Amino acid sequence: MTESQGTYEQPHSYSSPVNPEWPPPPPYQPAVAAPEPGKKRARGPMGLLAAVAIVAAAVGGGTAYAFQELTGKDTVATAGSTTTVVPSSKKGDVAAIAAAVSPSVVEINATLQNGSSTGSGVIITSNGEIVTNNHVVSGATSVKVRTSDGRSYPAEVVGTDSSKDLALIKLKGASGLKAAALGDSGGVQVGDTVVAIGSPEGLTGTVTSGIVSALNRDVTVSTDENQGQGQGGEGQWPFQFGGREFNGDTGSSTTTYKAIQTDASLNPGNSGGALIDASGHVIGINSAMYSSASQASSSSDAGSIGLGFAIPIDTVKSDLAKLRAGSDS
């Protein structure tokens, strides 16, 4: 063909298929048969599955906290297979865990009739529900809470359960807080990496790490309101382990619970704080620390020697309805 000849439209062509046995696609869009009159076109299952997959991906890609915001302000963020607190590539990274969970751990200051006590707590809902130890707020006439970003809130005690050494408090006028994702303590194994966050001696947001040293340890604590955490912020809480008493006399009124033992450093003021697994899920509420009889006389001498105990988070979850109902036991 010379340049003087007119051009014409070339017929649409297709390249050869990769697999010769596959027929080439038609050079036009095949017509879609219209439904017969009087019949409704059924929605295909693939369309439904695709819609469900999109929704699941949207939920799975966010954190439990984001899911909580969608489903209700008083919904506890419970960790599941799709819950992401720290990226999988950062699993076990103490810095990543601390950055993700520290905003969900608070410092609690309780005023008592005979002094004061300092402890920690874990935010479980965005509107300010906080789980802590009963002995942190036991006998308190007023409670103040400071969040990781320095904000301060008054709080009220909603419910207590001295038999499990647990309490639920509620901040006044709080919203938009970051709730922790509660994990599954039933899946915890000896040797698992853990991180503890709390306010030992009033040092807000202190992070320590270690492993789970043992499971199902029998820890006995006092249920006497007059014991409290000590006076003047000493944070000494008497408890028994292995038939011996630590941090003072437990008195005649006690309760025993099964605890997670950890070598993550816990000190006075860590009580009520979070024990966290390698994925950033809270698996326990720190509750007691070992100190020898010679150290129990004053908080200035007491310190962690690698024997700390935490209430399993499954115990907390099973007790939550009772605490929310305003139980005082």
Q: Report, as residue numbers or ranges, the catalytic residues.
A: 135, 165, 271
If we measure between CA atoms, which residue out of 248, 233, 243 comes closest to residue 293?
248
Whole-angstrom distance, CA of residue 97 vs CA of residue 193: 11
For residue 219, which phi and psi values (nearest 5 degrees)?
-115, 130
Instruction: Report helix, strand or coil for 14.
Output: coil
Q: Where are the beta strands (DSSP E) in the chain?
A: 105-112, 115-123, 129-132, 140-146, 152-161, 166-171, 193-198, 206-222, 239-241, 244-246, 254-262, 274-276, 282-289, 308-312
HSE, side-chain direction, 13 A CA sphere, residue 253:
10
The SS3 call for residue 64 is: helix
Q: How many helices (H) and strands (E) does the chain have?
A: 5, 14
The rounded distance, in Å, linking the Cα atoms of 64 and 70 is 10
Residue 215: how many CB atoms within 10 A of its CB? 15
How many Å is the Cα radius of gyration of the chain? 29
Tokens of 50: 């695709």
Q: Say if CB 160 and CB 137 are below 8 A apart.
A: yes
3-state secondary structure of 273: coil
